[in-house]
Amino acid sequence: MRMSRHVERRTFLKAAGASLAGAGLTAAGCGAGSGSSGGPVTIRYAWWGADDRAKKINRTVALFEKKHPKIKVKTDFQQYGDFWKKFNTQAAGGNPPDVFQNAIGFLRKYDAKRVLLDLDAQAKKGNLDLGDFRAGLEKFGVVDGRLLGVPVGSNSMGLIIDERVFEKAGVTPAPGWTWDDWDDALVKIHDKAGVAGDSGPFGIMYLYDLILRQNGKAFFTEKGLGFTESDLVPYWTESMKRVRTGLYADQKKVEQIKPKSALAAGLAGGEFTWDNFTARYSAEGKSSYAIAPIPTADGKKTGQYLGSLMLSGSARTKHPAEVATFIDFMVHDPEVGRIMGYDRGVLSTNEQYEAFDPTDPVSKKIAAYEKQIAAAGTLETITPHPAGADVVEAAFLRIAADMALGKAPVEESARQFFTEAKTALGS
C-alpha cells in the first residue's frame, strides 16, 4: 500500500509543532487562536440525513476523537427540512454549529449573512490539505475566491431505470442518446411494459438546469435566473400532456405513496435524480436498478457537472484551527472513506476513493457511472447559486407538483414561479 502524502504532511507538521512548543510557541494546527488553555476543545458538528448516515458519521467522529484526543466533537443530526429550520434559528441567533454539512445551493445565501468561514486561511496555515481531490472537486466550494466548503463526495444527475421494465420494452440507453430517443422510449415502455416511462421530471430543478445548459442557458446565473417564462411554459406544457397520456406517472398516485419513490413503487420505469440515490431504489423496490446516461440535444453535450455535499465552518467559531483539522480528517482519512462509502456520493479524495472497495452492486454501478461521464470529457463547472436559490428550488418543486395535480394551469403556474423566484432572489 502506498504511503499517503497527506500522512507524510501531517507527520511533518506534528514534528514542527513539537519544536515550536519547546520554544514556548503553539503550532497553528494544534489550536492556535482557539482560545483554549491547553485542555480539550469542543466543536459542534451538525448534518442532515437518515439514521444509517448518522451511525456511520458517529463512527467517524469516534475515530477522529481517538486520533485527536484534545478535540471533542458534539454531534447533531436532523432530517433535511428540520436541519435547515434549526440551522436558520441558530444562525440568526449567532450560534451556528462550528462545522456542518452544506450544499452549493446554500453557499451564497449564508455567505451573504456572514455565516461561513473562509477556510482558505486555514489551508495556508497547513491545517487543511486541498491536494489529492478528484476531478477538481477542491474548487467546488469556492465562491468569489473564498473557500466556503470542502466536498466530502461527488455525484451527478442520471436517469435511474428499472432494468426489468426497460428490458421488457426493448429499450437500451447508451451514451449520446438524444431526447428524441428518450421520447420514443417513453412510448415503448408505456405500450410494451404497461407502466409510465417516467415518474414525472418537470419539478426537478437540476434536470431542467441540464436541459437549459444543453441549449446555451442555465437555471441560475451568479445573480439570478438564467431563463424566462417563454422557456418554461413549453417545457411544462409538454410535461402536462405526458401526464394526461400516461407517459408520465399518475401524479395523484405519486403523491399517495410518498415518501416512497414512484420508481421503487412500480409506477414508472425511470426517474431522473442524483446517481448516489440509486441505493434508495434498491432498498425500497423489488426490481433491479441501473443508472442510464442523461439524454442530449445533440448527441454530445449533456450539461452535466459534479455536484457534492460538503463540510463548511462557521465564521463565528472560536476554534477555526480545530474545525479545519476536523474537516481535513473527514475528507482525507482512509478509514473514514471505508466507513462512509458512497453514502454522500463518490468519495472526493483519491485517498478515500482508493481505500473504499465497493463490493455491493449498487456502489459499483455508481462508481462506474461517474467514471463513464468523467471519461467522456464533457463535465462542466456548476455556477455558484445566488442567495435564495434554496427557496427557488423548493418553489419550483412545489408549484410543479400542484400544477401536475390540476390545481393551476401551466401559464398561471409559470407566472407564480417567476414571481416567487424574483422575490426570493431579491430581483
- CATH number corresponding to 157-305+379-425: 3.40.190.10
Rounded Cα distance between 135 and 148, Å, is 18
CATH 3.40.190.10 domain locations along the chain: 33-153+308-373, 157-305+379-425
Q: Which three cell numbers stand for residue 51?
A: 439514521
Task: Give the pLDDT of the chain (427 residues) as one tens digit per residue.
Answer: 333 444 444 433 333 333 333 333 233 333 334 444 467 999 999 999 888 899 999 999 999 999 999 999 999 999 888 999 999 999 999 999 999 999 988 998 899 899 999 999 999 999 999 999 987 888 889 988 999 999 999 889 999 999 999 999 999 999 999 999 999 999 999 999 999 999 999 999 999 999 999 999 999 987 899 999 999 999 999 999 999 999 999 999 999 998 889 999 999 999 999 998 888 888 889 999 999 999 999 999 999 988 889 999 999 999 999 999 999 999 999 999 999 998 898 999 999 999 998 888 888 999 889 888 888 877 888 776 888 898 999 999 999 999 999 999 999 999 999 999 999 998 6
Packing angle of the helix pair 229-245, 410-425 (nearest 10 deg): 140
Which H/E stretch holds residue 187? helix 179-188
Lateral strand order in the sheet of 150-151: 71-78, 41-48, 99-103, 309-313, 150-151
Q: Which three cell numbers stand for residue 155?
A: 455525484
CATH class belonging to 33-153+308-373 = alpha beta
Determine contact, residues 417/396, Cβ cutoff 8 Å.
Answer: yes
Q: Which three cell numbers stand for residue 351?
A: 485517498
Type of residue numbered 303: G
Determine contact, residues 294/275, Cβ cutoff 8 Å.
Answer: no
Q: Beta strands 150-151 and 309-313: pairing type?
A: antiparallel
